[in-house]
Structure 1
Amino acid sequence: MTAITTPTDLYRHGLKLLLDKDIPAWVDLWDEVGVLEFPFAPDDWPKRLEGKAAVAGYMRGYPDHIDLHDFPYVEIHRTVAPETIVVEMRGVGRLVKTGGPFDMSYIAVVTVENGLITQYRDYWNPLALQDPATDFAGSNG
């Protein structure tokens, strides 16, 4: 496989891995000391995960809770810092527990250094979930 050399290519590859439900491969895109932040997380959910192991623990059960079907909208903006991108996107699928729809818009600020994610700030709206108890984030904090 050809090495992924740009933050945009790495991010798009990561989206494919999420759709394939290949969480271990998605986690492998992270630097050992990478940080995942959720600035809008409710008080009882994690706001900051430090290190690849913490990200892996948080994401482990993702496919058991959210069955992603598609990212019908993805727009990636480059910044003046070549290692950082801003992503606007929408993910759709279903909530596994209830069978209800999952439709979430996101903005993410992602920094990639040496081919690995070192910083990921995920600006998503937890209030958009009909029943937050069906989401994985609150149970893995």
Structure 2
Amino acid sequence: MTTPMSPAELYRHGLHLLVKKDIPGWVELWDEDGVLEFPFAPEGRPARLEGRTAVGDYMRHYPDHVDLHDFPEVTIHQTTVPETIVVEMRGVGRLVQTGAPFDMTYIAVVTIRDGRITAYRDYWNPLAVSQPGADFARMN
């Protein structure tokens, strides 16, 4: 009998899958009814995705836009709700279209129940992708 991953372990595993460009594997970490929210989404971009299928449709082209190399800084804070974590992280790589460096900081609030992501609020900075060559915000 295996012990399920803690929310922090599952989240770190998800980051590993993103660096490996295993988007289907990352999507499999999601609950069928999981919700992904972007509170700072720019106009014309989705602010809320409902369900694993919608998350998968949104993320499937991510490696075509961003070549992630690493998450060199990841700090996970446990909340008073055991299933919910707050993550501060930095992702680095390059933008595929232009070859320009990609260096983005994020804060995420993530809830994991029964080994699946049920809620994920991604507080990324849309101003950082409004610069020339940063078209990955238009993934769909």
Q: TM-score range by the shorter chain?
A: over 0.9
Once the two structures are superposed, the pairs formed by residues 31-42 of structure 1 within 5 Å of their partners are 31-42=31-42
2:54 alignment partner AA: A
2:81 alignment partner AA: A
2:35 and 2:4 map into 1 onto residues whose CA distance is 20
Give the SS at the match of 1:46. Answer: coil
Partner of 2:99: 99
What's the offset of the Cα at 1:43? Answer: 1.0
| RMSD, matched Cα | 1.5
1:98 and 1:132 map into 2 onto residues whose CA distance is 6
Unpaired runs of 5+ in structure 2? none
Partner of 2:51: 51
Percent of counterpart pairs with the same letter? 70
Partner of 2:112: 112
Aligned residue-pair number:
139
Partner of 1:127: 127
1:41 and 1:120 map into 2 onto residues whose CA distance is 14
Give the SS at the match of 1:33. Answer: strand
Unpaired runs of 5+ in structure 1? none
2:122 and 2:72 map into 1 onto residues whose CA distance is 18
Give the SS at the match of 1:11. Answer: helix
Partner of 1:23: 23
